[in-house]
Amino acid sequence: MARVLILCSSTDGHTRKICERLRAASQDVGHDVSLAMIEDAPPPAPREFALAVIGARIRYGKTDRRVIDYANRHAGALNAMPSAYFSVNIVARKPDKNSPETNPYVNQFLRSVAWRPRLVEVFAGKLDYPRYGVCDRLIIRFIMLLTGGPTAPGTVVEFTDWQRVDAFSARLNRALAPGPDHGLRVANSTAWGTPGGCVPRVPAEEHVEVRAPWP
């Protein structure tokens, strides 16, 4: 059994729903999972866990600033351990933006932090106009108009591919499977730099190559 941290940033509850599914899957195989919201004061430090997973929603094109601050504050610990990041955003509904390599918000996040997660994923989110306040509804409808999405005010659409979420969960659990030495099977992270060090921040103009060295 391993201790797992899932740190979540969710505005309307859908990213939390994904995090809760990941938690349930890890608990089913015997891990001790703590699900914490980014607004928890203070959120748990990753060094207390064998695996850290951060899931963050996108709102108006931005990752929650608290997630960015947390990732930079704990970059040293996160880079020295098995860690994973996933973004939840509506633009990932598009085939040309539904991979970590092609999703603009994943690359934007990785450019803004010194953390280099060993596993990165992106999931399409949920559009739920009736749940939004008046101002949010107007702004999100305008964004959908510009990007070719649904604009009818009563629209509720869940774009999330739950099989993909489950596949991500399986990879997380495999990373914690005991190896021949009965320890945690930590992937080779040379794609992101030397484990234990703080990877330098990537200049804003550079594209971040997203690699997933885990099985």
Indicate the range of 96-110, 159-173, 186-200 predicted with least confidence.
186-200
pTM, two decimals, is 0.82
Tokens 């629209």 found at: 155
The pLDDT of residue 176: 83
The pLDDT of residue 158: 94
State pLDDT tens for residues 128-158: 999 998 998 899 899 889 888 899 989 999 9
* Phi, psi for 119 (deg, rounded to 5): -135, 130
The pLDDT of residue 41: 86
Cis peptide before 82 (omega within 30 of 0): no
Nearest residue to 87 (alpha-carbon basis) of 76, 74, 66, 103: 103
Residue 178 has pLDDT above 70, yes or no: no
Residue 72 has pLDDT above 80, yes or no: yes
* Phi, psi for 103 (deg, rounded to 5): -80, 125
User: Bigger pLDDT: 60 or 200?
Assistant: 60
Distance CA 46, CA 76 (A): 10
Distance CA 179, CA 181 (A): 5
Indicate the range of 56-60, 67-71, 98-102, 181-185 predicted with least confidence.
181-185
Q: What is the mean pLDDT of residues 14-31?
A: 96
Residue 202 has pLDDT above 90, yes or no: no
Residue 213 has pLDDT above 80, yes or no: no
Residue 34 has pLDDT above 70, yes or no: yes
Q: Strand runs (DSSP E) across 15-100, as ranges?
A: 32-37, 51-59, 62-63, 83-89
Residue 1 has pLDDT above 90, yes or no: no
Residue 195 has pLDDT above 80, yes or no: no
Band of the pLDDT at 179, cuts 50, 70, 90? low
CATH architecture of 3-125+161-185: 3-Layer(aba) Sandwich (3.40)
Nearest residue to 59 (alpha-carbon basis) of 24, 87, 101, 17: 87
Q: What is the mean pLDDT of residues 73-96?
A: 96
User: Bigger pLDDT: 88 or 136?
Assistant: 88
Sorted by where each begins, the domain ranges of the chain are 3-125+161-185, 126-159
Distance CA 118, CA 37 (A): 21
